[in-house]
DNA sequence: GTCAATTTTTTTGTATACAAAACAGGTTGG
DNA sequence: CCAACCTGTTTTGTATACAAAAAAATTGAC
């Protein structure tokens, strides 16, 4: 991949936000970031501009950039849209998947099973990501795949929190199995509805999400400043 | 709205791309743009960075920025996703719309009717946009509304081409009426399916789109350079 | 001692300067 | 005659400089 300074900086900062190194609401001081990465302010600004276009940071004119802090309601909305896009990808995948796609889906699913068996939450988290990307790819819609991937990245921190919830890993895995079955059977509508409920944050999971968010708020130094 | 130079430039250039002033594939020379807008290269670059994050321009390292030229297949994919998101907005609107939303939808629909009656294609184009935005708003999902609006903007030029097709305005209007009916009746699934087929580029419309695209390619100075 | 106004300091926004990479054209060798 | 190479030019990428605005701090009045 093309590797200019601002490009790398963009990924670094995005990663910092997504992993929580830069907490929601935190100020992103240009000079400070420049010093930290050993570059001038120019590429830092360019990186921040890109992140603001994506919606990860908010640049307030003359008042600096901050990491956006989507409230629980907005995070819920994002999951809602994610569910719709993913279920669309699943439906398309059911109709369009090739032998290669099938192999990739089965392989990533098998990895998930192994990680779940060894109860390795971090490993499962990664394999789960690969599984979902395999479905995006199988949709054979480049644009949809990109949109899904972008949203998936943005929701990363919240999904990670969710996986901590009791038994979620096992439940997730059995849902995966049902999704795989529907896709490989070519049953678009079943794949759609199963993926929708797999991704959506419904019922108990919403309160789990909210509580994990408020937990983080209180421990972190971020949140609403001033 | 906040109005810094780079912010205004971003909108200017975006508008230029969307209206076709900057054609797909065209090189966006930084110095040239800077001279044109009477500013230095710095805010131009920041604007281009944002546009590249959105996906409107492609910045190739050390090789300058060009207006992205999505092929017919990719444009089709974008309409496909747009249809899904809009139909989702419609379904939510059916369940969640308030009296205000209802008024806004009916009002914009009435405007569409008038424009269609006077066969004013440009006016209809604008009113149609307001109508769709009213539905986004009625979904009461801020994130979904933003996503819809963003995609809507990106597909603007192609939708405009489509409206030129024989009788499309009348057909579009009657579809609108059916959509309004479903939303106001609170019938989420009917609203969803009607919006989906309203937005999607199916059957004949796809070949119409492709032919209008190739027409533009041949007349314009853009296209694949070198 | 508190609050308001003014000054100081910090920080953002834009312009300019400079280095390095890509491009174009001509030249030399086969 | 064609191809590879070298050189001059253009253009991008990053650093620095400077102006203007916002934040912070100090002073002064009550």
Where is pLDDT greater, at B169 or B223?
Answer: B169
One domain, residues A77 and A189 = yes
Query: What CATH number does residue A87 fall under?
Result: 1.20.120.530
Q: Does B125 touch chain A (CB under 8 A)?
A: no
Q: Does B52 touch chain A (CB under 8 A)?
A: yes
Say whether B66 sits in a helix, a strand or coil: strand
Please, what sign has the CA dihedral across residues B17, B19, B25, B29? Answer: negative
Q: Please state the domain count of chain A.
A: 2
| pLDDT per residue as tens digits for the range B75-99 | 999 999 999 999 999 999 999 999 9
One domain, residues B65 and B78 = no
Token representation of residue B165: 């097709």
Q: Which phi and psi angles does A133 have, rounded to 5°?
A: -65, -35
Of B6, B53, B61, the CB nearest to A50: B53
Where is pLDDT greater, at A178 or A163?
Answer: A178
Which residues of chain A are within 8 Å of residue B45 when distances are taken between CB atoms?
Answer: 46
| Closest residue, chain B, to A62 (C-alpha) | B4
Last residue of a domain, one of A49, A69, A89: A69
**Is strand C in 7 Å reach of the CB of A45?**
yes
Cβ contact, residue pair B50, A49, below 8 Å:
yes
Q: Identify whether B222 is part of a domain.
A: no
pLDDT band at B163 (very low <50, low <70, confident <90, very high): confident
One domain, residues A105 and A199 = yes
Q: Identify whether A223 is part of a domain.
A: no
List the single best residue of B72, B84, B95, B140 to mutate versus A (max A Cβ within 10 A). Answer: B84
One domain, residues A188 and A125 = yes
Query: What CATH number does residue B34 fall under?
Result: 1.10.10.10
Last residue of a domain, one of A36, A69, A102: A69
pLDDT band at A184 (very low <50, low <70, confident <90, very high): very high
One domain, residues A25 and A125 = no
Say whether A96 sits in a helix, a strand or coil: helix
Chain B closest CA to A4's CA: distance in Å?
A: 7
Question: What average pLDDT does this structure show over B55-82?
Answer: 94
One domain, residues A56 and A81 = no
Residues near A66 by beta carbon (within 8 Å), at least 6 away in sequence: A25, A26, A27, A28, A57, A58, A60, A225
Show the domain range for B20. Answer: 5-69
Question: What average pLDDT does this structure show over B138-155?
Answer: 96
One domain, residues B64 and B173 = no
One domain, residues B205 and B97 = yes
Where is pLDDT greater, at B220 or B67?
Answer: B67
Strand partners, B28: B65
One domain, residues A61 and A88 = no
Burial B135-170 (b: 16+ CB within 10 A, else e): bbbbbbbebbbebbeebbebbbbbbbbbeeeeeebe
One domain, residues A77 and A50 = no
Going by C-alpha positions, the residue among A80, A84, A38, A44 that lies closest to residue A64 is A44
Q: Identify whether B9 is part of a domain.
A: yes
Last residue of a domain, one of B43, B69, B95: B69
One domain, residues A85 and A144 = yes
From the CA of A194 to the C1' of D6: give the distance in Å.
Answer: 64
Q: At residue B195, does pLDDT exceed 90?
A: yes
Question: What average pLDDT does this structure show over A180-185?
Answer: 98
Q: 């969803």: which residue's tokens?
A: B192
Where is pLDDT greater, at A218 or A15?
Answer: A15
| pLDDT per residue as tens digits for the range A53-82 | 999 999 999 999 999 999 899 999 999 999
One domain, residues A39 and A124 = no
Of B84, B143, B147, the CB nearest to A88: B84
């Amino acid at each position: 991949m093309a590797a200019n300074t601002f490009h790398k900086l963009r990924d670094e900062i995005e990663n910092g936000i997504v992993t929580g190194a830069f907490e929601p609401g935190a100020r992103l001081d240009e000079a400070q970031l420049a010093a930290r990465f050993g570059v001038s302010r120019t590429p830092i600004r360019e990186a921040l501009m890109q992140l603001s276009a994506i919606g990860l940071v908010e640049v307030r004119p003359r008042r600096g950039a901050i990491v956006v802090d989507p409230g629980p309601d907005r995070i819920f909305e994002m999951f809602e849209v994610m569910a719709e896009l993913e279920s669309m990808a699943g439906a398309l995948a059911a109709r369009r998947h090739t032998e290669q796609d099938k192999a990739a889906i089965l392989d990533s699913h098998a990895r998930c099973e192994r990680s779940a068996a060894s109860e390795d939450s971090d490993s499962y988290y990664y394999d789960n990501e690969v599984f979902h990307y395999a479905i995006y790819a199988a949709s054979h819609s480049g644009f949809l795949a990109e949109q899904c991937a972008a949203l998936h990245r943005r929701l990363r921190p919240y999904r990670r929190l969710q996986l901590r919830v009791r038994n979620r890993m096992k439940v997730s895995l059995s849902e995966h199995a049902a999704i795989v079955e529907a896709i490989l059977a070519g049953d678009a509508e079943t794949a759609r509805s199963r993926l929708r409920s797999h991704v959506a944050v419904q019922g108990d999971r919403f309160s789990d999400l909210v509580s994990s968010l408020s937990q983080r708020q209180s421990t972190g130094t971020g949140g609403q400043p001033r």
